[in-house]
């Protein structure tokens, strides 16, 4: 069988199918744009390779025998598979088919990413997207190893082999227990909360975000007392709800329906939070290049 596979070539399959369809050497050769003798030679080669005759031939007629009928079924499957493979290759080459692996922080999925993913999926329905929620640090490691094509993160500290683009800017929001005496009506500035305990993202996991919070507090003359740290919005909200402290989060993380907490958007401060898209400069994934164009 291995010897047969090694000798069998595509032109043998094409010649066989043409003759099987026409059942006439002259017509089949004309359809293939080759001479009748060349077609006859290719059929003889094919029968020698597979070790059996595939046609019954007389001076006037050509017909398939049982082996030929069985071979025709397989030949059509092979031909169809080759066509599908070539179509898939062309689609992947042009970036219309393939896979894109995407990492993201939780807040990216609240506002920015859903419409982007929907738009991309509509334009490129044959490209499969693989999404994974990861910290900034985990995304950078995955990008470096080639496990991700792109990461959406709150960090702009990247290596020289990466590209970065700010794709979304938004305000911060203060997170308070719903019964906290500070409300949107009497809130003036963050200095009113200088004595509160704060729940923040860990510095090691999101140094840019962490430093921005310190800068916001410093502008009001105090250093925040950090009592707890978490990288997950729901955990932060649950801690605030239970009086374990207050927090400052990207405005897109707001969830006023599932927790007994209150949000005050910090619209009057100059510091904003950015969502960055980061990808490897050497990424040659054609499907990803089409994704990149939509940012």
Q: Is 5 left (phi over 0), alpha (psi -120 to 50) or beta?
A: alpha
- Judgement on whether residues 89 and 176 belong to the same structural domain of the protein: no
Is the pLDDT at 217 greater than 70? The verdict is yes
- Judgement on whether residues 283 and 143 belong to the same structural domain of the protein: yes
* Four-CA torsion 52, 55, 58, 61, nearest 10 degrees: 180
- CATH number for the domain harbouring residue 225: 3.40.190.10
- Judgement on whether residues 138 and 200 belong to the same structural domain of the protein: no
- Judgement on whether residues 30 and 160 belong to the same structural domain of the protein: no
d(CA 32, CA 29): 5
For 81-115, the pLDDT digits (tens) are: 888 787 777 767 766 788 899 999 999 999 999 99
For 13-56, the pLDDT digits (tens) are: 999 999 999 999 999 999 999 999 999 999 999 999 999 999 99
With contact defined as beta carbons under 8 Å apart, do 157 and 208 qualify?
Answer: yes
Query: Helix, strand, coil % (nearest 5) of the chain?
Result: 45, 20, 35
The reply to whether the predicted model has a pTM over 0.85 is: no
| pLDDT value, residue 151 | 98
- Judgement on whether residues 139 and 192 belong to the same structural domain of the protein: no
- Judgement on whether residues 135 and 120 belong to the same structural domain of the protein: yes
- Judgement on whether residues 266 and 194 belong to the same structural domain of the protein: yes
- Judgement on whether residues 163 and 286 belong to the same structural domain of the protein: yes
Domain hosting 288: range is 98-168+275-292
- Judgement on whether residues 160 and 180 belong to the same structural domain of the protein: no
- Judgement on whether residues 180 and 266 belong to the same structural domain of the protein: yes
- CATH number for the domain harbouring residue 84: 1.10.10.10
Beta-bridge partners for 168:
275
Is the pLDDT at 2 greater than 60? The verdict is no
Band (80; pLDDT cuts 50, 70, 90): confident
- Judgement on whether residues 70 and 105 belong to the same structural domain of the protein: no
Single out the residue in 30, 58, 93 at which a domain terminates: 93
- Judgement on whether residues 50 and 122 belong to the same structural domain of the protein: no
With contact defined as beta carbons under 8 Å apart, do 281 and 154 qualify?
Answer: no
With contact defined as beta carbons under 8 Å apart, do 248 and 213 qualify?
Answer: yes
Beta-bridge partners for 199:
228, 247
**Total domains present in the chain:** 3
For 257-271, the pLDDT digits (tens) are: 999 999 999 999 999
Nearest Cα neighbor of 142 from 120, 162, 127, 156 is: 162
């Amino acid at each position: 069988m291995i010897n047969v596979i090694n000798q069998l070539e595509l032109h043998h399959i094409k010649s066989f199918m043409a003759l099987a369809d026409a059942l006439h050497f002259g017509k089949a050769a004309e359809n293939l744009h080759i001479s009748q003798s060349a077609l006859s030679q290719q059929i003889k080669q094919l029968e020698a390779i597979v070790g059996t005759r595939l046609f019954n031939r007389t001076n006037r007629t050509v017909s398939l025998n049982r082996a030929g009928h069985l071979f025709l079924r397989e030949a059509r499957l092979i031909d169809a598979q080759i066509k599908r493979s070539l179509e898939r290759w062309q689609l992947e080459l042009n970036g219309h088919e393939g896979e894109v692996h995407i990492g993201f922080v939780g807040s990216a999925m609240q506002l920015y990413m859903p419409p982007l993913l929907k738009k991309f999926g509509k334009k490129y329905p044959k490209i499969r997207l693989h999404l994974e929620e990861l910290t900034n640090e985990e995304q950078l490691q995955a990008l470096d190893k080639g496990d991700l094509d792109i990461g959406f993160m709150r960090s702009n500290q990247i290596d020289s082999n990466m590209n970065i683009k700010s794709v979304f800017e938004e305000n911060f929001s203060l997170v308070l227990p719903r019964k906290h005496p500070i409300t949107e009506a009497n809130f003036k500035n963050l200095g009113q909360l200088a004595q509160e305990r704060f729940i923040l993202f860990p510095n090691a996991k999101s140094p840019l975000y962490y430093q921005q919070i310190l800068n916001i507090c410093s502008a009001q003359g105090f250093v925040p007392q950090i009592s707890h740290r978490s990288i997950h919005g729901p955990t932060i909200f649950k801690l605030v709800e239970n009086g374990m402290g207050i927090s400052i989060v990207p405005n897109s993380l707001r969830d006023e329906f599932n927790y007994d907490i209150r949000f005050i958007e910090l619209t009057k401060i100059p510091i904003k939070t950015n969502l960055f898209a980061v990808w490897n400069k050497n990424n040659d994934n054609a499907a990803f290049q089409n994704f990149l164009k939509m940012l």
